[in-house]
Amino acid sequence: MTLDQLRILVQIADCGSMLSAAEALNRTQPTLSVAVRKLEDELGIELLARDQYRAKLTPSGEKVCQQAREVLRQSSFLTDMAAHLARGYEPKLRIAIEESCPVPLVLQVLKSLEMKYPQTEFELVGERLWGALERLDQFEAEIAITPWFEENVQLESFLLANIRMVPVAAPGFMPQHVGRTFSLTELKDRVQVVVRDSSRSPRTKSLGVLEEGRHWLVNDHSTKKEVLLAGMGWGRLHLHMVQAELESGRLVELKIEDFGDSSQIEVRVARRRGEFVGPVAAEFWAACRGLATDAGWRGDR
């Protein structure tokens, strides 16, 4: 069985006649007849009903033709992929992203690249807190999109966005104190909802966590938000994640003494410094930089 035989069978099915298929393939009709007959001999079944004026597939021929289309599709994909790799394009690009970062910005870039480089597999790995940076550090991702907690001279990065974090709770969490300023002492007796760091080597440095207070640990920011909406605790979230709920009144921003009611967090696109970068990764990097520039954000490090 050859790809050429399968291609001939599919062409006959599409054209509805041996003559039309021969013209479409720029071959002679006897050549096509011999190819189909050899395929039938090899498979031990009749593929064409020859008692018809026009070429028509038998029920068995229909089944074989259906599979032949899939084999030809896979063959074409394999050929394209080999050519893609021969030109130096990466077979896979792994991007680690901290889940609170503005994912829609990244998807804008990935959508255009996926259409341009269909042979490259894009792997988008969601992490929490230090997890995305750890993936980059452990060579488990080529690019990380992450909050920038501290400088790292081993990485090169640029600013994608500045994100504001705000402490919030449901109005019913402490209804008798809505609108007032809280002390840290008061909040230590209230549940603070904290997202668990997804890195395998969690840092000892806490980010806005009252160390001596009551804590509920959750695995992701979305779960944290749902717990807060249920009135079961308070915590800090990125403003873009709770903007709609603050506007509708489902959540309220808390005023806390000596806590910093809100803070700015840099979100950066990072990669390992001095490492060879493939063309798809380079284009993703450049597109994200352009997106940040177009959006009016600035920063380079």
Q: Quick one: pLDDT at residue 103? A: 84
Residues 6+ apart with CB under 8 A from 153: 273
- The average pLDDT across 28-49 equals 89
Res. 256: pLDDT tops 60: yes
Q: Which of 156, 182, 299 is nearest to 234 (CA)?
A: 182
Residues 6+ apart with CB under 8 A from 205: 149
Q: Quick one: pLDDT at residue 233? A: 92
> Tell me: domain 163-263, CATH 3.30.70.20, correct?
no
Q: Quick one: pLDDT at residue 298? A: 38
The single-letter DSSP state of residue 254 is P
Q: Which CATH architecture has domain 3-80?
A: Orthogonal Bundle (1.10)
- Say if CB 144 and CB 198 are below 8 A apart: no
Average pLDDT, the chain: 84
Res. 301: pLDDT tops 50: no
Please list the residues that pair with 121 across neighbouring strands. 92
What confidence tens digit (pLDDT) does each residue in 128-166 have?
888 999 999 988 999 999 998 888 888 999 998 888 889
- Say if CB 147 and CB 266 are below 8 A apart: yes
- Say if CB 227 and CB 233 are below 8 A apart: yes
> Tell me: domain 92-161+266-294, CATH 3.65.10.10, correct?
no
- The average pLDDT across 42-54 equals 82
Helix (H, G, I), strand (E, B) or coil at 166: strand
Please list the residues that pair with 161 across neighbouring strands. 267
Q: Which of 174, 171, 139 is nearest to 155 (CA)?
A: 139
CATH 3.40.190.10 segments of the chain: 92-161+266-294, 163-263
- The average pLDDT across 57-83 equals 84
Sign of CA dihedral 78, 82, 84, 85: positive
Q: Quick one: pLDDT at residue 56? A: 83
CATH 1.10.10.10 segments of the chain: 3-80
* Measured distance CA(33)–CA(208) in Å, rounded: 77
- The average pLDDT across 223-246 equals 93
Res. 201: pLDDT tops 80: no
155-169/234-238 β-pairing: antiparallel
Res. 74: pLDDT tops 60: yes
pTM of the model: 0.64
- The average pLDDT across 59-79 equals 87
Backbone dihedral angles phi then psi of residue 278, each to the nearest 5 degrees: -70, 165
Q: Quick one: pLDDT at residue 175? A: 67
